[in-house]
Amino acid sequence: MILPALFAWQLQHATTAEALLDAYAIGVEVAGRLGLAASQQHYALGYHNTATLGTVAAAAALARLISTDVATCTTLLGIAATQASGLRAQFGSAVKPLHAGFAAERAITAAQLALAGLAGQQDGVLTAFLTASSNGQAQPEKLLESWGQPWRIVSPGLEFKPFPTCAGTHSAAEAARMLRDRWLASGKPLDTLLSSIREIGVAFPPGGDIAAAIRVPVNGIEARFSLEYVIAAMLIYGDLRLADFAEGDLNPAVMPLAAKVRRMPDASAPPDALNPALRFHQVTLTLNDGVQLQQRRTRQQSLADGVDVAAKLHAALRHETAARQQQLLQCCELKSAADVATLSQLLSGNHD
C-alpha cells in the first residue's frame, strides 16, 4: 500500500529516487509503529491491518514525500485515519488483495484533500482511531517512542513471502516439505508416502489459525487461507505452485489428501495473540502401519531462512518479453529519477 501510493503520486508529481525511498522508509516506520500501538487486538477483532493501518502508513509516506508542514501533515493523517477500514472477513476473496489498493487510494485522497485546504481536527484523531479499534489495548505512546532507534526498515526489517499463500500457512508448508524431503532422501518413492498417509495432524498455538481459517476451500483464492490445502499441496508437489492458488477451480489432486488434515491447537502453548512471533506449526503424518513422522517449524526459523527476492522477481516476470523483463529489472534498481518515472509508467500500464 505504501509503494503503490508513492508511485501513483509521482505519476502527477515527478520526484527523485532518493525522495521516494526516503518516504518509503518513513511509511514502513509508521506502519510498524501503528502495529505496536494498535496491539494484536486490532487484528483479533476482525480488522485487516493492511487496509486499516496501511492507509495511515501510506498517508505518512506521502506527507514525507510532499514535505508538508506540521498542520497539513496532521490533517492529512487524520483524514486517512477517518477513512481507514478493512475486514478479515474478506479473506479468501478477490477483495482481500484489493485492500492494499484501497489503502493507497485513500492515502492519495487524504493528501489531495489536505493540500486543497480541507480543515480537519488537529488533535487526538490517531489516538481515537487506535482506541476505537484495539479493544482497550491501544498503546499510542508506541507511535513516537524511540523513533528511528533503530529504523524498522533495518530492524526487524522487511519480510518477504516465499509462497503465494497466507503467511499464517508458511511454517506449516515448510514443515510438510521437510517431511517430504526426509522421506525422499531415504530412497523411498513419493507415491508410497502419499498412499500410506492415514491422517495428517497440524498443531499450532491457540488462535494461530485465525488468518488461515478456511478448512474446506471452494476455489484457488480460498485455498490460500487453508492449512489443509497448503499442507497437502506441499506434500504432493514439494512447492506451493501459483497455479494451485489462482482464481478458478481447485486442483482435484490435492483435495483428497487435504481432507486427511486435522487441526490440533496446542493448549500448552501461549495463545498466538500474546506474541505471534512465537508461532509454530507441527505437522505429524500418521501412516497406515501406525508409524508417525513429525516436523516442527517456527515462524522465526522461517524468517531466518530469508527469501531470494531477485529470483522471485524474475519468476513474476517470466511471461514478459525478454526486452520488457530487462526494462523492468533495470528500473527496479531505482538508481535515478528516470528509473522512478519509467517504473511508474510501466506499473500504470502507460507504456506505449
Mean pLDDT of 217-230: 96
Q: How confident is the model at residue 351 (pLDDT cuts 50, 70, 90)?
A: low
Residue 252 has pLDDT above 80, yes or no: yes
Predicted model pTM: 0.89
> Worst-scoring range by mean pLDDT, 85-89, 150-154, 215-219, 311-315?
311-315
Q: Give the pLDDT confidence score for residue 149 in this predicted structure.
A: 93
What is residue 350's three-state secondary structure? coil
Look at residues 112, 1, 93 and name the one whose alpha carbon lies nearest to residue 51: 1
The span from the CA of 229 to the CA of 251, in Å, is 9
Q: Give the pLDDT confidence score for residue 327 in this predicted structure.
A: 84
Mean pLDDT of 257-274: 95
pLDDT digits (tens, 9 = 90+) for 173-211: 999 999 999 999 999 999 999 999 999 999 999 999 999
Q: Give the pLDDT confidence score for residue 29 in this predicted structure.
A: 97
pLDDT digits (tens, 9 = 90+) for 285-300: 999 999 999 999 999 9
Burial class of residue 288 in the structure, from the number of CB atoms within 10 Å of its CB (0-12 exposed, 13-18 middle, 19+ buried): exposed
For residue 150, cis peptide bond before it (omega within 30 degrees of 0): yes
The radius of gyration of the chain from alpha carbons, rounded to an integer in Å, stands at: 22
Is 259:201 a contact under the CB 8 Å cutoff? no
Is 27:2 a contact under the CB 8 Å cutoff? yes
High-pLDDT (> 90) share of the chain, %: 81
For residue 271, cis peptide bond before it (omega within 30 degrees of 0): no
What domains sit in the chain, N to C, each tagged with a CATH number? 2-159 (1.10.4100.10), 167-305 (3.30.1330.120), 316-352 (no CATH)
Task: Work out the mean pLDDT of the chain and round it to a whole number.
Answer: 94
Mean pLDDT of 273-291: 93
Q: Give the pLDDT confidence score for residue 299 in this predicted structure.
A: 93
Q: Give the pLDDT confidence score for residue 352 in this predicted structure.
A: 52
Task: Count CB neighbours of 338 within 10 A.
Answer: 11
What cell numbers appear for 15 in the block? 520526484
Q: Which amino acid is at 232?
A: A
Task: Count CB neighbours of 216 within 10 A.
Answer: 13
CA–chain centroid gap for 109, Å, is 23
Residue 338 has pLDDT above 70, yes or no: yes
Q: Which H or E run includes 286?
A: strand 280-287
CA–chain centroid gap for 203, Å, is 22
Residue 320: DSSP 8-state: S
Residue 241 has pLDDT above 60, yes or no: yes
Residue 343 has pLDDT above 90, yes or no: no
Q: Give the pLDDT confidence score for residue 275 in this predicted structure.
A: 85
Q: Give the pLDDT confidence score for residue 314 in this predicted structure.
A: 85
Residue 350 has pLDDT above 80, yes or no: no
Q: Give the pLDDT confidence score for residue 306 in this predicted structure.
A: 85
Look at residues 348, 318, 350, 313 and name the one whose alpha carbon lies nearest to residue 333: 313
